[in-house]
Amino acid sequence: MSVPTPHNSAQKGDIAKTVLMPGDPLRAKYIAETYLSDVKCFNSVRNMLGFTGKYKGHEVSVMGGGMGMPSVGIYTYELFNFYDVDNIIRIGSAGAYSKDLHVMDVVIAMGACTDSNYVSTFCLPGYYAPIADYGLLSKAVDAAGKLEIPVTVGNIVSSDVFYSDNPEFNEKWAKMGVLGVEMEAAGLYMNAARAGKKALCILTISDHFYLEEKLSTEERQLGFNNMMKIALETAICS
């Protein structure tokens, strides 16, 4: 497919080699306005905003990815395969299972379990374990240490269903030591693997399934600065 695509109006060269990808396009706009200089908007198709700018002299892009693997699957596939992007760092929110986690804590997803049928599109002869690129993961942990931001590294689950009809869904994943749930990382990790590219998911805990803790919509959109700083520092080391 040539560019622009039906979902992205950018031309070749408009997008940096490393892209930060929140689900919310308004979070992408916030990051661009708050942390980047010399910012140019490369996409506004369907209001899925994308920007390229400079962070500490390095070119970095940030673009919304939407909710769920079908959405993030489209945008990450195009970035990896049509726009020559090498690294995508998802920066999103998650609901926590672990009672050691609290709202605003940062989790780096080493692996992403899933209940999704997304993997079936690759016609593999068995089960696939979606994992982060170790190089990006290591750089993110190092960046968090330098910033003195505590992080927890571990396994998450990427679910296709927000309103599950299975009352045991969360409990069963929690019993396996899964830290929390979100909806995109597994799809991102699979697209990166298939394209021979690199991906990482950094999450901020926005609510908890077993503790009375929950962030507001505004706090989700504007309050994840620790995660953003870690991702930006990782991006310029990639």
pLDDT values of the chain reduced to their tens digit, one per residue, 238 residues: 789 999 999 999 999 999 999 999 999 999 999 999 999 999 999 999 999 999 999 999 999 999 999 999 999 999 999 999 999 999 999 999 999 999 999 999 999 999 999 999 999 999 999 999 999 999 999 999 999 999 999 999 999 999 999 999 999 999 999 999 999 999 999 999 999 999 999 999 999 999 999 888 777 766 799 999 999 999 999 8
Task: Please report, for residues 100, 138, 162, 188, the alpha-carbon distance to residue 9 in angstroms, rounded to integers and kept in the order given.
Answer: 43, 33, 30, 21
Return the residue matching tokens 């310029």: 236
Query: Half-sphere exposure of residue 142, counting CA atoms within 13 Å on the CB side?
Result: 12
Question: Residue 32's pLDDT is what?
Answer: 98
Alpha-carbon distance of 167 to 188, in angstroms, equals 27
Question: Residue 217's pLDDT is what?
Answer: 78
Query: Half-sphere exposure of residue 43, counting CA atoms within 13 Å on the CB side?
Result: 32
Q: Is residue 234 within 8 Å of residue 139, measured between CB atoms? A: yes
Question: Residue 7's pLDDT is what?
Answer: 97
Q: Is 3 exposed, middle or buried (0-12, 13-18, 19+ CB in 10 A)?
A: middle
CATH class for the domain made up of 18-235? alpha beta
Question: Residue 2's pLDDT is what?
Answer: 83
Helix (H, G, I), strand (E, B) or coil at 64: coil
**Catalytic residue numbers?**
207
How many residues make up the chain in this entry?
238
Question: Residue 223's pLDDT is what?
Answer: 74
Q: Can you list the positions of beta strands (E) in 13-105?
A: 18-21, 37-43, 50-55, 58-63, 87-96
Alpha-carbon distance of 187 to 26, in angstroms, equals 22
Domain locations along the chain: 18-235
